[in-house]
Amino acid sequence: MTRTVLVAGTASHVGKSTVAAGLCRHLANEGRSVAPFKAQNMSNNARVVPRADGRAGDGSPDDESPDDESLDEDPWGEIGVSQYVQARAARIPATTDHNPVLLKPRGDGESQLIVDGRAAGHFAAGTYYDDHWDDALSAARAAHDRLAREHDVVVAEGAGSIAEINLHDRDLANVETARFSDADILLVADVERGGVFASLVGTLELMPDDLREQVVGCVITKFRGDRSILDPGVEQFEDRTGVPVLGVLPYDDPGLPEEDSVALPAADERSVRGAADGVPADRTVTVAVPRLPRISNATDLEPLAAEPGVRVAYVPLDGSLADVGADAVVIPGTKNTVDDLLELRDAGMHEELRRFDGPVVGLCGGYQMIGEEITNASLEGTGEDERVEGVGLLPITTRFDPEKTLEAVTRDISGVGPLAEADGEVSGYEIHAGETEVVGEVRRPFADEGAATDRVLGTYLHGLFENEVALDGFVERVFEVAGRERPDGDSVESDPYERAASLVEEYVDLSPILG
């Protein structure tokens, strides 16, 4: 019989995703068939994956599955990046069953609702719960049932806190998942925030009574210092609640891609990250990233930050590229191109970009922004403007329409503009609304997609810098234009999945969870 473990939390960003990924890799290393699951995620970091084929493990049809005809016409869907990461940790292909309901915030209290990988529309929270909740619950139950038929263990991840008493009648990722899967609940709390025992006790007190009985233990994360100082609190907590603390994880980031933008600096803050510590200043470069308020797929930038001698500097929209010493700029994706473009223009960043004379790369929404104009803008933005002027770095125009492009792709890169040093094959995914047309003289970085001049390049391809040929080519070009010598050394590499598994194996007593 399949066992489901729900990794629930006392709050957001307490380490649930890391614990879930570590469990998935640990079980896969033991030879057990394991699948990740998150009934409902809220994130603008998404991945394109195959839609679930809707077949039970024995090949028989499932009445609650997506219809085969729609799958033939539209085989791709999107899920939150954490479940994509956890599927890789489990060593299985990711599908939409791993995250059947995804909410992508777009501003003005609205989110795009994704069910079984497909967009269902933009809705305010009240409309979602009033009109779409039952469909979302049905989709989540069906997805879990399919995974349970095909795997020995399902590692489910909760969302936020499992003790939000105002949401207990509509908490899909926590309460409903625990009930329809009869999950063993592992409660995760973050000691770094302070008040960890109050958080744990309060969460147990406020959980629904039936779920309180399903809690098998707790894990405390992000601990620094002498464990013996924590032990008296652990003992008192266990005496008070009867719930064992199964582990205390040290503060150690295994390097998994971030689920959302919570870990990024706020939109009005500057932050520098990267692998340039200890590297002489004359052998480093800085890649500036305008901090879009609705930034999405920020994981596109993580490979750059791991490259020796490269700093990635997030710059507020009213900030200065010169102040961070920018040698290149990458404009990332966004869940709302139009509103972020308007804010970028209002803050003056468009003039900063026009004056900048180094390499510029626009990814997805960033590609759309650096064109000449966007039309049908009200379909994407929350205002009524039908036309918005772009930054004007590329002779392209984008027109939004109700259709959304979702596709995993492999392309040959031709080596132009900021990627002039790149030559080979790259893989990634497209996830965007709108179609972009070239209206002037440009070169194509790919046979039928993107646009480039000698200095500026735009593409819809997410995951571009996850390809060594593109990453190496771009970094080489930035050092060349900056007139600096690129340092020797490989990218900062370690297997984040094995590191997450090691954390769980070394510091958590898994026997009450997995038997």
- Annotated catalytic sites, by residue? 364, 462
Would you give the distance in Å from CA 453 to the centre of its chain? 30
Q: Are strands 310-315 and 285-290 parallel, antiparallel or unpaired?
A: parallel
Q: How far apart are CA 343 and CA 443, in angstroms?
A: 29
Question: For residue 427, what are the β-bridge partners?
Answer: 410
Torsion of CA 379, 385, 390, 391, to 10 degrees: -120
Task: For the chain, count helices (H), then strands (E).
Answer: 16, 25
Between CA 96 and CA 105 the distance in angstroms is 19
> For the chain, how far is it from start to end, CA to CA, in angstroms?
13
- Of 171, 242, 172, nearest to 201 by C-alpha is 242
**Quick one: which of 344, 434, 426 has its CA closest to 397?**
434
Tell me how far apart the alpha carbons of residues 120 and 113 are, in angstroms, rounded to a whole number. 5
The DSSP code for 179 is H
Residue 269 tokens read as 């803050």
One-letter amino acid at 412 equals D
Structure tokens at 280: 């002489």
Q: Residue 472: exposed, middle, or buried by beta-carbon count in 10 A (0-12, 13-18, 19+)?
A: middle
Provide DSSP, 307-354.
SBTEEEEEE-TTS-TGGGT-SEEEE-EES-HHHHHHHHHHHTHHHHHH
Joined tokens for residue 47? 């991945």
C-beta neighbour count of 165 within 10 angstroms: 11
